[in-house]
């Protein structure tokens, strides 16, 4: 006996002993009184010879199996093919479950998600299938999920999945073989930290910048190799920046003195030390007073006070990209405004 489902797909009743190699049309539940109640097999499961005794144990002499129509795919197969086409460097796939496959980081340390947003939008325009992702340049923990493919109906036209595969292949051809969804390793930086402020230098108040910066960089696998202190004196700040550069650190961070108050000397001192300033200020809140620049290829950042107390600032956005090897441009800074309002 057969029943139509949708498209050319049908359900057919078959004896359990004749079901090997066929696909279950629905979940099958096992109940062991006082011990267990739950799914024994999920819909879409391909019946094996070893499954027959288990099916008989739960009283199944006959089951419904699914027969797909021509040009149709089961949700699990479709979701797996999508994920297989899209995932790339540093990622691994989960097993299909209820029409969903997760793309996860396969790196042993925090990493940077790199995802092409325009391709995500184009795939979701196709209908009946879904691709959900993190925003590109998000930090992904080891084993963390950065994307998931999903099929909405039980079966989907194979031509839609083929279209996703073609789009992914076209992307690779245009981007030197890179995949649309990947993660990039973060380098371990040795960082020189300069804390400015006469009130801290004189000991009137306790330094709060150092512990906050150390926590952020250590979470990403880097270290503050040296911290130095200066008063709010431009010439002294320049001298200390030059000293840190001479030590060969991978990055220089300068904290404090980033506002427009008369005593705040840091932006001018960074420039005087020879920095090519990419931007003084970002369109993100908190963190609008951050300075981004380079001295002889070494990134240097002037950090605003919000880094001490806000959980997510412009520093948290830019630091992982720098650790992944990106050179921050003016355009990168400009784009931080969209979606850049946090805790305000």
Residue 54 structure tokens: 């288990």
Range in 84-98, 262-276, 327-341 the model is least confident about: 262-276
Give residue-wise pLDDT tens across range 112-143.
999 999 999 999 999 999 999 999 999 999 99
Do both 124 and 18 map to the same domain? Answer: no
- Assess whether pLDDT exceeds 70 at residue 246: yes
Residue 2 has pLDDT above 60, yes or no: no
- Asked if the structure places residue 63 within a domain, the reply is yes
Average pLDDT over residues 12-20: 89
- Please state the pTM of the whole predicted model: 0.85
Q: What is the mean pLDDT of residues 156-171?
A: 97
C-alpha distances (whole Å) from 2 to each of 13, 45, 61, 203, 235 are 7, 19, 17, 84, 86
* In the predicted structure, residue 190 carries a pLDDT above the cut 80: yes
Q: What angle do CA 4, 7, 8 make, to 5 degrees?
A: 65
In which domain, by residue range, is 118 found?
A: 72-185
Is 254 contained in some domain? Answer: yes
Verify that 326 and 307 share a domain, yes or no. yes
**Based on the domain organization, do 226 and 332 belong to the same domain?**
yes
**For a pLDDT cut of 70, what percent of the chain falls above it?**
95
Average pLDDT of the segment spanning 269-278: 96
Residue 87 shares a structural domain with residue 211: no
Domain boundary residue, one of 131, 163, 185: 185
Q: Tell me, yes or no, whether 344 lies in a domain.
A: no
Same domain, 322 and 203: yes
pLDDT at position 195, please? Answer: 96
Q: What is the pLDDT averaged over residues 69-76?
A: 88
Given a contact cutoff of 8 angstroms between Cβ atoms, the answer to whether 189 and 236 are in contact is no
Residues 15 and 100 in one domain: no
Summarize the chain as % helix, strand, coil (round to 5). 30, 30, 40
Residue 24: give its domain's CATH number: 3.90.105.10
Final residue of a structural domain among 185, 213, 248? 185
Per-residue pLDDT at 264? 63
Residues contacting 95, CB < 8 A, separation 6+ = 101
Beta bridge partners of 64: 13
Please provide the average confidence, as pLDDT, over all residues in the chain.
92
Last residue of a domain, one of 67, 89, 109: 67
**226 within a domain of the structure (yes/no):** yes
What average pLDDT does the segment 250-277 reach?
86
| Residue 234 pLDDT > 80 | yes
pLDDT of residue 7: 59
Q: Does 95 share its domain with 29?
A: no
What local confidence, expressed as pLDDT, does residue 38 receive? 80
Which pLDDT score, from 0 to 100, does residue 27 have?
A: 78
Q: Are residues 220 and 325 in the same domain?
A: yes
Q: Is residue 262 exposed (0-12), middle (13-18) or buried (19+ Cβ within 10 Å)?
A: exposed
Tell whether 142 and 273 lie within a shared domain: no
Q: Is residue 121 part of a domain?
A: yes
Same domain, 200 and 317: yes
CATH number at residue 83: 3.90.1150
77 and 201 housed in the same domain? no
Question: Is 342 inside any structural domain?
Answer: no
Q: What's the number of domains the chain is made of?
A: 3
What pLDDT sits at residue 261? 60
Q: Bridge partners of 255? A: 195, 303
Does residue 343 belong to any structural domain of this protein? Answer: no
Is it the case that residue 82 has pLDDT exceeding 80? yes
The whole-number pLDDT of residue 12 equals 80
79 and 105 belong to one structural domain: yes
| Residue 132 counted as domain residue | yes
pLDDT of residue 4: 58
pLDDT of residue 202: 82
Q: What is the CATH number of the domain that holds 311?
A: 3.40.980.10
Question: Could you give the count of Cα atoms lying within 13 Å of 257 in the half-sphere of its Cβ?
Answer: 28
């Amino acid at each position: 006996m057969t029943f139509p489902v949708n498209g050319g797909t049908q359900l057919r009743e078959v004896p359990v002993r004749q079901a090997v190699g066929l696909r279950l049309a629905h979940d099958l539940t096992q109940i062991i009184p006082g011990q267990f109640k739950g799914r024994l097999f999920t819909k879409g499961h391909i019946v094996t010879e070893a499954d027959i005794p288990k099916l008989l144990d739960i009283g199944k002499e006959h089951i419904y199996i699914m027969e797909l129509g021509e040009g149709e795919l089961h949700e699990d197969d479709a979701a797996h093919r999508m994920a297989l086409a899209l995932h790339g460097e540093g990622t691994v796939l989960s097993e299909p479950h209820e029409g969903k496959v997760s793309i996860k980081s396969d790196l042993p340390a925090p990493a940077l998600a790199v995802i092409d947003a325009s391709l995500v939008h184009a795939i979701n325009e196709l209908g009946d299938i879904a691709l959900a992702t993190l925003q590109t340049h998000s930090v992904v923990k080891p084993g963390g999920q950065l994307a998931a493919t999903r099929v909405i109906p039980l079966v989907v036209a194979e031509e839609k999945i083929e279209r996703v595969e073609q789009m992914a292949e076209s992307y690779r051809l245009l981007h030197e073989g890179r995949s649309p969804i990947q993660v990039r390793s973060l380098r371990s930086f040795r960082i020189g930290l300069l804390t400015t402020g006469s009130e801290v230098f004189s000991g009137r108040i306790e330094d709060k910048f150092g512990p906050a910066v150390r926590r952020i960089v250590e979470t990403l696998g880097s270290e503050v190799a040296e911290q130095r202190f200066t008063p709010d004196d431009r010439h002294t700040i320049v001298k200390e920046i030059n000293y840190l550069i001479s030590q060969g650190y991978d990055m220089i961070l300068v904290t404090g003195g980033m506002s427009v108050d008369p005593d705040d000397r840091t932006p001018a001192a960074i420039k005087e030390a020879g920095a090519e300033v990419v931007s003084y200020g970002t369109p993100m809140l908190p963190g609008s007073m951050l300075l981004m620049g380079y001295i002889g290829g070494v990134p240097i950042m002037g950090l605003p006070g919000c880094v001490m107390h806000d959980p997510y600032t412009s520093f948290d956005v830019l630091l992982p990209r720098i650790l992944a090897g990106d050179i921050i441009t003016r355009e990168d800074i400009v784009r931080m405004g969209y979606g850049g309002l946090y805790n305000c």
